Structure 1
Amino acid sequence: MSRTDGEVGPSGTDHSGSGTDHSDADRSVASPVIGAEGLTVSLGGVEVLSGVDLEVRPGELVGLVGPNGAGKTTLLRALRGSLDLDAGTASVGGDTVAGLPAKEIARRVASVPQDATPSFEFTVEQVVEMGRTPHRSRFSGPDATDAAAVEEAMDRTAVAQFADRPVTAVSGGERQRVLLARALAQSTPALLLDEPTAGLDVNHAVRTLELVSELVAEGKAALAAIHDLDLAARYCDRIVVLSDGAVLAAGPPEEVLTRGSIREAFDARAAVTEDATTGAPRVTPLPDLREGAPTARVHVVGTGTRAATVLGRLAAAGHAVSLGVAPSGDAAAATAREVGAEPVLVPAFAGVNDDAREAAAERAEGADAVVVVGEPAAGNRAVAETVPPARRVLVDCGSLDGAAVGDGDVVETVGEVVADADENPVGGFRFG
């Protein structure tokens, strides 16, 4: 199960699909199934990984995120024993990979690569049967246990319908599911997945991660490189951010996926908000600020989702935004906190008191423009009236003087107000 049905997040995720509660206490007692300590790898004389520490315990799905070239695939290859290490150790099932025969490693950890198109036209069923190779002697054929494992793997990944089709004849997304089925048939306690949703449509991407979550609920340990940060936040118990071959951050999604870490790892601006449906962090990439584009201090007067939308758009445009007065549990208040704004808040249903009104009025007076969203109540009307009409931008507000616009035009209009101001706008704001 994903974290969409009310399960607790990374600090005690209940993967309730199997009826097994893998709490933090359970995981802290269990020994790591996948581990790296000081792991350092060079390829072609270039250091790709440097001093990586990582653990994945039974009942845990850990996501690897980071930009292209950060070392995610190299780390997965090192953990399955496909690369020589310059320093440190990689371990599976409590033993260092370097000390295990290849067949024993394959009994402990199964891999799902990004793409591994067979050179020969094996059928889908034959490819899935290859997952049973570590459990058989060199000259023995499949037995009933092998057949049952293959059948279950194909059923769980919804590829049984393609069983007799050449694997070269299925689509890229279908082939990715075949590779996952092969890994499931391998019947290992651990999974290494390299972009398991690559090439999948939204429906099958979600189904794939739901299946991985079910396997984790049954006690497997899974480490997955995932490029979609929203999916990683939704499904992973913990996230490890790789940047330039080193661990930049590691921990629960809500602690790791921050504007600062995304800026440092991906060199990108982003807004990080809470997904209203899943409760997980939601990452929205933002364009870089245009050189010479006016930035200003903008105070927003308003509440609710519309004010939240206006706040987000203004922040995305590079303006330093503030909000007030708003109830502490309001959607606009939540967005203000998530985009690094400066909200003036009061308890829900408490009304605007004198201290809050004065604090918000101070922010409005110091702003280059004030955006009023909706008809303000008395306390917030006084805040809006702190500035002259020439500095007001009105969204669905007809009781005040100022530039009346739709919320889709608010950024452009604020820019015009700033450009027309007698004083230079306050610049230097950095978002994300």
Structure 2
Amino acid sequence: MDVTDVSVTLGSVQALDSVSLEVEQGEFLGVIGPNGAGKTTLLRTISGVLTPSGGTVTVDGQDITDLPSKASSRLVAVVPQETSLAFDFTVREVVEMGRTPYRNRLTLESSADEEMVTQALERTRTAGFADRAIGEVSGGERQRVLLARALAQDTPVLLLDEPTASLDINHQIRTLELVKSLVEAGKTIMAPIHDLNLAAHYCDRLLLLADGKRTALGSPDEVLTESNLEAAFGTDAVVTNNPVTGSVYVMALPDGARDRDGPHVHVIGGGGAAARLLYLLAASGYQVTTGALNEGDADVETARMLGIDAVTLEPYAPIDEASAEKVKEEVESAAVTVIPDLAIGHGNLPNLRAAAHADNLILVEDRPFEERNYAGVRGEERYHSLRERGTVVESRNVLEAVESAIESS
């Protein structure tokens, strides 16, 4: 699919301004941008609903604007964000509507039509309630029904308008996992996605629109940069990597969060487990320290990049008494001490002993402790003694926990 210098004018508003992009077969392109950036207008233009004032949209080498409605509907299917049906059709009847481009008023449903509908119902796991009225299904189920209708349309390109909007996290993940499987099967899919972190995890590439213009196009790493987000959304954001999935992770910050005149927070790091926390805490304005860490550790590199003071040791060296005392001093002076979701070995037990001197202690747990304990009974005893007096949170809630601990002190 090729979009070449497409411009769209709606009344006196330039909704799209010379937008160009190419989407390969079997690619999932996410479209991001602030409200009013032109995301939905772009989808409506690609589907042929809007005629561009300039430029072209071609699918399989055919200019969409030159095709009659039925012909374009055999190339591009649309899953709208919201839809209203005049009658209370059954789920199966809604999915059967996807075969309309292949039939006329005198044509009965063929065996091929029936097969496509059956496959679409099964692929979207909607066959189990195919005979229910569309008005009786939940929001998440309804989204899958609309996707099934688009699959029954049997087009090379699928356009999904905010497919996760108004869905709870469970249905968001299920929907995007389904979309991912369709892409792997060869479908070309384009979708505006409001949640930048979901877009980063599931999309092959991202298109960033702002004021109707293409601001950036590329991999999530290339598009989701702090400078791009500041320019498009007008917000300060921290861009790191999700510690579990490895995909880009975006967190918006309040105004003035990077001034770093906030309270002192000490982070017990190791093995790269603290890198994201160091970034988030420093960007949120806290005076951050970390250690003790061996030179060469990813957390040391992150600390240096951010200008964070770190208690360091030679590579592979154990934590000596002098270093342990420095860590203890940092912990005692800190308003909050944070222990990331790190692996516990005999080498970092002195760090845990120092953490016992914390006034406020936060332990991050994204994995069960048993999966990351390599220090046996000593590690278990030391960690659980800290856990009994600390606050346990998931990594996504660390900033809120730190703020709460400081406010209650």
Fold conserved between structures, TM > 0.5: yes
Paired residue for 1:58? 25
The worse-fitting range, judged by mean Cα deviation, of 195-204 and 154-163 is 195-204
Query: Cα distance 1:118–1:295, how it changes in 2: closer, same or farther (>3 A)?
Result: same
Q: What does the per-residue CA deviation read over 1:17-60, in whole Å, with 9 as the maximum and x for residues that have no partner? A: xxxxxxxxxxxxxxxxx221111112121111111111111111
Q: Kindly provide the CA deviation profile for residues 233-266 of structure 1, in whole angstroms up to 9, marking residues without a partner as x.
A: 1111111111121111111112221222222222
Q: Does the alignment pair 1:239 with 2:206?
A: yes
Call closer, same or farther: CA 1:328–1:189 in 2, change over 3 Å: farther
Alignment-derived partner of residue 12 in structure 2: 45
Q: Indicate whether 1:227 and 2:182 are aligned.
A: no
Q: Which range moved further: 227-236 or 314-323?
A: 314-323
The higher relative CO (CA closer than 8 Å, separation ≥ 6) is in 1
Matched AA of 2:114 = A
Per mean C-alpha deviation after superposition, the further-off stretch among 302-311 and 180-189 is 302-311
Distance 1:290 1:312, change over 3 A: closer
Instruction: Give the drift of 1:383.
Output: 6.8
Does 2:238 align with 1:283?
no
Q: Within 1, Cα distance between the matches of 2:67 and 2:311? A: 59
Runs of at least 5 residues in structure 2 that lack an aligned partner in the other structure: 338-350, 363-390, 392-400
CA distance in 1, matches of 2:59, 2:287: 48
- Is 1:139 the counterpart of 2:106? The answer is yes
Instruction: Deviation per CA, 1:95-142: give whole Å up to 9, x if none.
Output: 221212211111111111101121222211111111011112342011
For 1:95, the equivalent position in structure 2 comes to 62
Quote how far apart the aligned CAs of 1:161 are: 2.3
Amino acid at match of 2:282: A
1:258 aligns with 2:225: yes
Tell me the alpha carbon deviations over residues 244-297 of structure 1, each in whole angstroms, 9 at most, x when there is no partner.
211111111122212222222222232222223322112223333379x87269
Q: Which moved more, 1:65-74 or 1:205-214?
A: 205-214
> Which is worse superposed, 231-240 or 403-412?
403-412
Does the aligned pair in 2 maintain the 1:70–1:243 contact within 8 Å? Answer: yes
The residue that corresponds to 1:269 in the other structure is: 236
Shift of the 388–74 alpha-carbon distance from structure 1 to 2, 3 Å rule, reads: closer
User: Hey, what's the Cα distance between the residues in 1 that align with 2:54 and 2:315?
Assistant: 59
Give the structure 1 partner of residue 136 of structure 2. 169
Unaligned runs of 5+ in 1: 1-33, 353-375, 416-432
Q: 1:278 to 1:84 in 2, by over 3 A?
A: same
Partner of 1:406: 361
Counterpart-to-counterpart distance in 1, 2:73 and 2:26: 19
The structure-2 alpha-carbon separation of the partners of 1:44 and 1:123, relative to structure 1 and needing over 3 Å to count, comes to same
TM-score by length of 1: 0.71
Q: How many Å separate the matches in 2 of 1:259 and 1:112?
A: 31
The whole-number CA distance in structure 2 between the counterparts of 1:38 and 1:345 is 54
Deviations 1:304-348 (A, max 9, x none): 3785576255324324757677447746347658x9556879899
Indicate if the aligned counterparts of 1:270 and 1:286 stay in contact, CA closer than 8 A: yes
Hey, what does 1:107 align to over in structure 2? Answer: 74
Residues 291 and 312 in structure 2, CA contact (< 8 A), matched pair in contact too = no
Cα gap change, 1:54/1:260 in structure 2, threshold over 3 Å: closer, same or farther?
same
Q: Which moved more, 1:146-155 or 1:114-123?
A: 114-123
With 316-325 and 98-107 compared, the bigger mean Cα shift is at 316-325
Aligned to 2:261: 295
Q: State how far apart, in whole Å, the 2-side matches of 1:336 and 1:93 are.
A: 50
**Equivalent-residue separation in structure 2 for 1:135 and 1:197 (angstroms):** 29
Larger deviation, residues 52-61 vs 320-329? 320-329
Aligned to 2:74, the other structure's residue is in SS state helix
Q: CA RMSD in A?
A: 3.8
- Structure 1 residues 329-340: aligned runs within 5 Å: 330=297, 332-333=299-300, 336=303, 340=306
User: 1:196 — aligned with what?
Assistant: 163
| Contact kept? 2:267, 2:278, Cα under 8 Å | no
AA at the equivalent of 1:199: S
Distance 2:253 2:336 in 1: 25
Partners in 1 of 2:313 and 2:62 — Cα distance?
54
Residue 268 and residue 301 in structure 1: after superposition, are their counterparts in 2 closer, same or farther (change >3 A)?
same
Q: C-alpha deviations, 1:71-90, integer Å up to 9, x for none?
A: 11110001011112122222
Say whether the 8 Å CA contact 1:300–1:307 is kept in structure 2. Answer: no
Higher helix share: 2
Tell me the secondary structure at the aligned position of residue 167 of structure 2: coil
User: Residues of 1 paired with 2:28 and 2:313: CA distance?
Assistant: 38
Contact kept, 8 Å, 2:3 with 2:57, in 1: the verdict is yes
Residue matched to 1:127: 94
SS in 2 for 1:173: helix
CA distance, structure 2, for counterparts of residue 181 and residue 389 of structure 1: 56
Task: Letter of the 2:46 partner, please give it.
Answer: L
Inter-partner Cα distance in structure 2 for 1:300 and 1:54: 46
Separation in 1, partners of 2:195, 2:59? 26
Which residue identity lines up with residue 189 of structure 1 in the other structure? Answer: P
TM-score (norm 2): 0.74
Structure 1 distance, partners of 2:117, 2:354, is 69
Q: CA offset at residue 168 of structure 1? A: 2.3
CA 1:210–1:410 in structure 2 vs 1: closer, same or farther (change >3 Å)?
A: closer
Q: Does the Cα contact within 8 Å between 1:301 and 1:380 map onto a contact in 2?
A: no
Return closer, same or farther for 1:83/1:302 CA change in 2, 3 Å cut-off. Answer: same
Task: State the identity as a percent.
Answer: 44
Residues 259-268 or 390-399, more deviating: 390-399
Letter in 1 for 2:245: T
Equivalenced residue count is: 358
